[in-house]
Structure 1
Amino acid sequence: MKNFIKQAENKAIRASMMLRNKASEVGERAKGILTNNEGQGTLDVAVTVLISIVLGALILGGLYLIISGTVLPTITQKIKDMFNYQG
């Protein structure tokens, strides 16, 4: 019985030490992640996204002006001529 109790105590001590080591490893890993200064920052990504949105809006606006001013009147006239065929 004394042997059984001693083995249980040893297992509990080993489990406690393993848990403490794991917690320490997780803490060190979290500390490393939080103090990491590599890669793109949030501000860099935000500026890139903002520039992309502005350029996209300018391109779409230009295409709309070209299509509404040049292409649509021509297409409208061709459709009217097609339906008013006097052949």
Structure 2
Amino acid sequence: MKKLVKRANNFVAKQAIKAQIALSNNKGEGYIDTAVKILIAVVLGALLLAGLYALFGNVVMPTLTKRIQDMFNYAG
């Protein structure tokens, strides 16, 4: 009986130590790190989208419109 109580006591003590180590562990990724990463991704995505929109609006679409008009211009 004493052996069983001693084993149970040791088990509980080991589990308490493991819990204390896990709770005092401050490694890893926090909420602020994740928020900063998401914010950076959103800003970079918006800049990329704005750049593509400007490129298509000023360079690609006028050229495409002119080529389509030239294709269907039977008089010229």
Which bin holds the TM-score, normalised by the shorter protein?
0.5 to 0.7
CA distance in structure 2 between the partners assigned to 1:25 and 1:53 by the alignment: 45
CA RMSD of aligned residues (A): 3.0
Structure 2 gap segments, 5+ residues each? none
Answer yes or no: is 1:59 the counterpart of 2:66. Answer: no
Give the CA deviation at 1:71: 0.8
Structure 1 moving runs of 4+ over 3 Å: 23-31
2:25 is paired with a residue of what secondary structure? coil
Aligned residues: 75
| 2:30 equivalent in structure 1 | 41
TM-score, normalised via structure 1 length: 0.60
Any gaps of 5 or more consecutive residues in structure 1? 1-9
Question: Identity of aligned pairs, percent?
Answer: 43
Give me the whole-angstrom Cα distance separating, in 2, the residues matched to 1:77 and 1:24.
Answer: 80
